[in-house]
Amino acid sequence: AAPVRYESENATISQGVVESNHAGFTGTGFVNFDNVTTSSLEYTVTVPSAGPYSLKFRYANGTTTNRPLDVAVNGTLVANDLGFPGTGAWTTYQTITATANLVAGTNKIRTTSVVAEGGPNADSLTVDTVTAAATPVA
Ligand code: GCU
């Protein structure tokens, strides 16, 4: 299936605000997490079948300090302290990819800040099928 992009500004925001003052985002803006450990963002993601998917988080971090996020799928932690290192500028967006199993239908993917500085500026989450490495023929 084709990758599907979910804009952070359409996600459920807990302790964060939608902003658009740093160009380079897709959609209408990005989410600026509050600078606290509990700020979070929950995307509602729908996939046709159960299995592993690539979760591609597009973000900017104009500091030189990592801003890790915990990633949970349907309430289960799937990536602990996933790293979002500095991108050089708040207008420079990069992508960090995690892999997680999703269920068929609706999934709740939550990213939560784990350091006092909060998370990076969150532009979007793209969900894509995982391309398996070719299996060598014996
Ligand atoms: C700056 C920047 C924000 C960013 C914030 C932060 O204020 O303009 O976009 O979210 O720093 O450090 O979290």
Pick the closest to residue 55 from 114, 96, 2 (CA basis). 96
State whether ipTM is beyond 0.95: yes
* Cβ-based neighbours of 1, under 8 Å, separated by 6 or more: 47, 48, 129
Q: Can you give the pLDDT at residue 110? A: 98
Bigger pLDDT: 75 or 135?
A: 75
Q: Can you give the pLDDT at residue 59? A: 98
Above pLDDT 90, what percent of the chain? 93
Residues with Cβ within 6 A of ligand 1?
22, 32, 35, 90, 118, 121
* Cβ-based neighbours of 29, under 8 Å, separated by 6 or more: 9, 18, 19, 20
CATH number of 4-129: 2.60.120.260
Q: Are 12 and 45 in contact (CB under 8 A)?
A: no
Which pTM was predicted?
0.94
What mean pLDDT, rounded, does the chain reach?
96
Centre of ligand 1 to C-alpha 94, Å, is 16
Under the banding of pLDDT at 50, 70 and 90, the label for residue 17 is very high
Mutate to test the pocket of ligand 1, among 17, 18, 32, 87 (most ligand atoms within 8 A of CB): 32
Domain locations in the chain as residue ranges:
4-129
Mean pLDDT (whole number) for 17-33: 98
Mind listing the pLDDT tens digit for each residue in 60-75?
A: 999 999 999 999 999 9
Q: Which two tokens stand for residue 71?
A: 């990633």
